[in-house]
Structure formats: structure tokens, C-alpha cells
Amino acid sequence: MAYLFTSESVSEGHPDKVADQISDALIDNFLAFDSESKVACETLVTTGQVILAGEVKSKTYLDVQKIARDTINKIGYTKGEYMFDGNSCGVLSAIHEQSDDISRGVDRETKEEQGAGDQGMMFGYATSETENFMPLALDLSHMLLKELAALRRENSDITYLRPDSKSQVTIEYSDDNVPQRIEAIVISTQHDDFGTDDAMLAKIREDIIKILIPRVIAKLPEQIQNLFNDNIKYHINPTGKFVIGGPHGDTGLTGRKIIVDTYGGKGAHGGGAFSGKDPSKVDRSAAYATRHIAKNLVAAGVCEEILVQVSYAIGVVEPMGIYVNTYGTCPFNMTDGEIANKISSIFDMRPNEIEKRLKLRQPMYSETAAYGHMGRQPETVTKTFVQPNGESTTLDVELFTWEKLDYVDVVKAAFNL
């Protein structure tokens, strides 16, 4: 029997994502001037206020207030009427030195023996249902909001948009897990107060369906375009009005959108957030590493769908174990346990080796903090960072290295494909 599956996304202006972006901007600035920085930074945003808290071990000094304000302004909170804007909000820092009890478990005489920064389990997932090996409902949810943000910045076809928004896509699947059609699309977008409630809602609904949706469809491959139909149930600003939003409408916290950040509810999640953590924290680095494994295995033809789990103990260099579930999609006679053993021989999952393989000591994290950490396009960009004393550094930074298909040939050779 056919079934429905739903995933959601939130925009860069969503309060939780504002918090994530500030935390990751701090990570990038610390790593830019001291690549060995150890950082765990949490951010809270609310009406007119930003609170930074966490632990840092670094040789550099930053103007954390300026970094927070610049991030907020870049997102688009630049007007006093939003009750939260980068130029006037208060910024309180309660960042302090990292605990010696934590650092002693991570730091070693040689980097190869670096212990895991925490205990826990991390999951990576990949599926062949999209070109970027991501679950389709989440991929579409992200695309809707990225395109909505582009429309907001263009300020031409739609002129009333504010930064906060959410999306949700429900897809009907066949018994054999193939997408058949889109059942429903939900868009809630913050907007200016430009008329009566009924008039605003009618205008927003018309613009979403006639302007946003066609722009998204035009960027999709034909097989995904065919899932759109005239019977989709659209729920546009279902409450009827969304003027009050962002951190003024809802307090935001770092790490509160972990399902949006990963696979939209497909596969599994170990519970650890990513943003605000340097790569010695396996919550982040090992989640990227398992996605890298999963994507390369599906691309190599080992399976059509896969979930990879790895687990660690704090201060211990070797993982506790690797688990694999291919959901019965492996086309040759090999068990999931045998696939897990083969993965262990291909991919070194010691924390420092993950950092080296994926080049995680770069200031590469601000770009991850909105629209998902997985399924993104690897690219190299040039970034410039400036310290309070005026010293600057310009770096070429590789983004989303865990999305590279650079191990496909290695996997094929290991599995005799």
C-alpha cells in the first residue's frame, strides 16, 4: 500500500537558525587564526538580545559582538521594526576557557592518538532517489526556502518578505519506495503588514504558487518535475498572518534543528547537534564522515539506500563499532555486517583521521548553518577574516568536503564492482 512521508525545513531567518549561524561564524573566525582551536559555543537569540555561552581553547582573540552583529545583518535583520536587528541588539558574552577535564581526553602527544571529544553515536544516510543522494521531501523543502530567500533579496517580484520562514513537503511513495507524487506543500513566511489580513493572505498565496513554485520546478530534473500536479494541497501561512517573527516572535537556540540539518527524519539521528562545535567533537565530524561513507557506497552501487552508524567513548581514539543497514537494497550476496567490516577497512574513523580526510580544520562552517549540512555542493571559496587589532587573513576554503564522491573507485575496488 502506498504511504506518505513528510520533511520540513526552516530558513536562515528562523530564530534557531540565526543562533546556529552565529555559533558557526564564531567557529570559523577561531579556526581562521588558530586552526587547532577547541570551541563549543551556544547562542540564544530573543527580542533585542543575543547571549553567547560556551567553552573555548584558542590562541586568538575575537570581537564576538561584531561577529554576531555582522551575521545577523547578513541574514537580513536590519530594521528596528523587526524588534531584532544587528545594529541595535544587545550582545552578552559568557564564553570561558575549555575544561581541562575535557581537553585531557582529547589532546595527545601525537595527533593520530587524539581521542574523541565526547561519547555518542552518529549516523550517516544516503539514498539514490535524488541526484545528491538525499531524501526527496527534505531536498524540496530546502529548495523552497532557498528560492524564497533569493526572492526576498531580489525584492522585485515579491517585495514584502521578511527573513523568517518554514516549509514542509509531503510525498506519496509506492510500495517499493519510489516517489509517485507530491501530496502537500506547506509554506509559512514572515511578511510586512501591508493590508487587511484577508488581502495579505490572498496575495501571499498567489505569489507563492505562481512565482515561487515555478522557480523551484524549473531547477529540478524532469523526473522530479513530474511529481508536481494540480492536486497538490497548498497550506500557505495557515494561521492567516505572520508579521511578528524571527527572534522577536520565538526565542532561538543553537542546535535545535538537528533533523532539518540532516535527513528530514529519514534514516536515524544520534541526537548531537553540529553548529558551534569544532571538529574534535565527533557529534559533528563523525556525522560528516558517515554521510561521506554512505554517499560513496550508494554512488558506487553497493546499495540503493544505506544507514551507517558509528559510536565513540570520550577520550578513546578507536570507535566502539560501525553498524550498517542497507534496507535490503544490496544487489549482491553480502550481509550488512560484512559491509560494515569492509567499511572499517576502507575508512579510518579515528577522530584525527576524519579531520584530515575531510579537511575539517578549515573555517568552513558558516555555510553549513542554514539549509542543511548534507546534500550540498562541494566548492572552493575565498574568505577573509579580520581580528580586532586589524590583522587579517585570506584563505581558500573547501566547503562540504563530505559530499565529495572521491571514494567511489576505492569502494568499487574493495567490493569488486
Q: Which fold has domain 120-128+260-414?
A: GMP Synthetase; Chain A, domain 3 (3.30.300)
Report whether 241 belongs to an annotated binding site: yes
Residue 80, phi then psi, degrees to nearest 5: -60, -30
The C-alpha cell at 81 is 521594526
Please classify residue 388 by burial: count the beta carbons closer than 10 Å to its beta carbon, then call 0-12 exposed, 13-18 middle and 19+ buried: exposed
Report whether 273 belongs to an annotated binding site: yes
Question: What is the 8-class DSSP label of residue 376?
Answer: P
Say which residues have a Cβ less than 8 Å from residue 51's Cβ, sequence separation at least 6: 43, 44, 45, 92, 94
Report whether 198 belongs to an annotated binding site: no
Angle at alpha carbon of residue 344, lines to 340 and 349, rounded to 5°: 120
Answer left, alpha or beta for residue 330, where phi above 0 means left and psi between -120 and 50 means alpha: beta
pLDDT truncated to tens, each residue of the chain (417 aa)?
Answer: 799 999 999 999 999 999 999 999 999 999 999 999 999 999 999 999 999 999 999 999 999 999 999 999 999 999 999 999 999 999 999 999 876 655 555 665 666 677 787 889 999 999 999 999 999 999 999 999 999 999 999 999 999 999 999 999 999 999 999 999 999 999 999 999 999 999 999 999 999 999 999 999 999 999 999 999 999 999 999 999 999 999 999 999 999 999 999 999 999 999 999 999 999 999 999 999 999 999 999 999 999 999 999 999 998 999 999 999 999 999 999 999 999 999 999 999 999 999 999 999 999 999 999 999 999 999 999 999 999 999 999 999 999 999 999 999 999 999 999
Answer left, alpha or beta for residue 377, where phi above 0 means left and psi between -120 and 50 means alpha: beta
Report whether 59 belongs to an annotated binding site: no
Short-list 122, 160, 166, 164, CA closest to 144:
166
Task: Tell the residue number behind the cell numbers 529519514, with chain if given.
Answer: 266
Report whether 2 belongs to an annotated binding site: no
Report whether 165 belongs to an annotated binding site: yes
State the pTM of this model. Answer: 0.95
Report whether 98 belongs to an annotated binding site: yes
Q: Which fold has domain 3-9+136-245?
A: GMP Synthetase; Chain A, domain 3 (3.30.300)
Report whether 286 belongs to an annotated binding site: no
Distance of CA 279 to the CA centre of its chain: 15
Report whether 55 belongs to an annotated binding site: yes
Whole-angstrom Cα distance, residue 101 to residue 108?
A: 13
Report whether 42 belongs to an annotated binding site: yes
Q: Where are the alpha helices (DSSP H) in 226-330?
A: 246-249, 258-261, 282-300
Report whether 74 belongs to an annotated binding site: no
Task: Tell the residue number behind the cell numbers 547578513, with chain if given.
Answer: 74
Q: Evaluate whether the domain defined by 16-109 bears CATH number 3.30.300.10.
A: yes
Distances (CA, A) of 307 to 139, 215, 262, 267: 18, 32, 12, 6
Report whether 164 belongs to an annotated binding site: yes
Identical fold at 16-109 and 120-128+260-414?
A: yes
Quote helix, strand, coil % in the chain, to nearest 5. Answer: 35, 25, 40
Report whether 14 belongs to an annotated binding site: yes
* Domain chopping of the chain, boundaries: 3-9+136-245, 16-109, 120-128+260-414
Report whether 404 belongs to an annotated binding site: no
